[in-house]
Amino acid sequence: MKKFSKILLSLIIISTFLLLAGCQNRALDYEQVGEDERIVIKFSHVVSESTPKGMAARRFAQLVHDRTDGRVEVQVYPNSQLYMDGEEIDALINNHVQLVAPATAKMTEYFPELLLFDLPFIFENYSQVHRFIDSEAGQDLLKKLRSENMLTLSMWDNGFKVMTSNRPLHKPDDFLNLRFRIMPSRVLDAQFVQLGARARDLPFSDVYAALESRQVDAAENTPSNIYTKKFYLVQEHMTVSNHGYLGYLVLTNEKFWSELPDDIRIILKDTLDEVTEWEREIAQQQNTRDLQLIINTEQIEVYHLSESEKAIWKKALLPVHQMFLPQIGIELLQQIPQVD
C-alpha cells in the first residue's frame, strides 16, 4: 500500500510537471493560442483572388501569419463575399471588417481630392503614378485621407482602363447615347457625358449581369478585372485606350489600428509596405498577361487605339479637367510629374 502511494505521488508530480511544461509551450506557440488571444483581421474586397489586389491581399495574410507565428490571422474575403461596394465602407467604419481596398473612385465622396486619379489621360504610365504617390505631395495627400474611423495605410495599383462595348469605339462620336457602367465618381460621370454618352453607377458585383442583360451597353475597366470576371463574354468590342488609371486605397479602422499592440502594428505596417512594392510589380505584369489572354479567347474584337486617335480622345476630354480644377485644386495637379 505504501509502495502504491509512492508511485501515485510520483505520477502526480510528473503529470503536473508535464502539464506546466505544456502550458509554457502553448504560450509560446501562437498557432495554439485560444481564439480570444488571437488578433483576427477581416479583409474584404470585391474582385477575384487572381487579380493584383486579390493576390496582394493573400500575400499580406500569409506573411503576417508567418511573421507573428499565427498570432495575427488575416482572413481575406474576395468577390464581395462579405460586403459589396457601398457596404464595405460602412462595415469598416463600424469595425465589422478591419481592412478594405476600394478603388479611389469609390472614395471620392469622402475625399474629393481623389477625383484627380479619375481624370482622363492624367497619367500615361505606372511610373508616373508611382512618382506622384511617392512624392512629398503624394505622401501628404495619403496622410490627409482619414476621417471618421478611417485611416489610409497604403495605395495599391490595378492599372490602366480600357473600354468595352457592343459597338466599336474608335472616335469620340462613337460614344453617342451609349449607357456606360461607372464607379461612383463625378469625374467618371462627366467623362462619359462629355462624350455624349450616359453613365450609371453600379457595384462591381452587378456589372456582369448588367452587361449581359443590356441594362448598360458598355463599361470601362482594367484587363485583369475584365478577364477574371469574364466581361469579355458579354461585350463584343474592346478598345485598348489606357485612358484612365485604377488604383486602390488600403484602409483600416482607425480605432482598431491605434489599439493594436505596438509590436504588432509595426509588423503589419512593414509587411504592408513590402507587399505594396510587390503589388506594383505584379499589377503591370498581370494586366499585360490578362489582356493577351482576352485576345486569345477570340470572344471579343480587340482594337488598339493609335496615337493619333488617342490625341483626338484627349482633346475631346480636356474640358473634364477644367471642370474639376476647383475641387481637386490646381496646386495638387501641378505636383504630377512629367512623363519620363
Interface residues with ligand SIN (CB under 6 A)?
46-47, 103, 158, 183, 204, 221, 225
* Residue 39 Cβ vs ligand SIN, minimum distance, rounded to whole Å: 25
Q: By beta-carbon distance, which residue lies closest to ligand SIN? A: 204
Provide the 10 A C-beta neighbour count for residue 319.
11
Say if CB 337 and CB 128 are below 8 A apart: yes
What is the amino acid identity at position 98? Answer: Q
* Bridge-based pairing state of the strands 179-182 and 237-240: unpaired
CB closer to ligand SIN out of 138 and 247: 247
CB closer to ligand SIN out of 47 and 145: 47
Provide the 10 A C-beta neighbour count for residue 165.
23
Which of 107, 120, 59 has the alpha carbon at shortest distance from 281? 59
CB closer to ligand SIN out of 105 and 116: 105
* Residue 36 Cβ vs ligand SIN, minimum distance, rounded to whole Å: 33
Q: Extract the C-alpha cell encoding 218.
A: 458598355
CB closer to ligand SIN out of 41 and 47: 47
Burial class for 99, CB neighbours closer than 10 Å (0-12, 13-18, 19+): buried
CB closer to ligand SIN out of 158 and 271: 158
Residues with Cβ < 8 Å from 199, sequence gap 6 or more? 179, 180, 181, 182, 188, 189, 191, 192, 193
* Residue 204 Cβ vs ligand SIN, minimum distance, rounded to whole Å: 3
Our CA dihedral for 51, 54, 56, 62, rounded to 10 degrees, sits at: -140
Determine the Cα–Cα distance for residues 229 and 206; give it in Å rounded to an integer. Answer: 11
* Residue 85 Cβ vs ligand SIN, minimum distance, rounded to whole Å: 6
* Residue 145 Cβ vs ligand SIN, minimum distance, rounded to whole Å: 17
* Residue 221 Cβ vs ligand SIN, minimum distance, rounded to whole Å: 5
Determine the Cα–Cα distance for residues 155 and 132; give it in Å rounded to an integer. Answer: 12
CB closer to ligand SIN out of 29 and 90: 90
* Residue 224 Cβ vs ligand SIN, minimum distance, rounded to whole Å: 8
CB closer to ligand SIN out of 69 and 212: 212
CB closer to ligand SIN out of 39 and 245: 245
* Residue 290 Cβ vs ligand SIN, minimum distance, rounded to whole Å: 13
Angular region, 86: left φ>0, alpha ψ -120 to 50, beta rest: left
Determine the Cα–Cα distance for residues 107 and 186; give it in Å rounded to an integer. Answer: 11
The H or E element containing residue 147 is strand 146-147
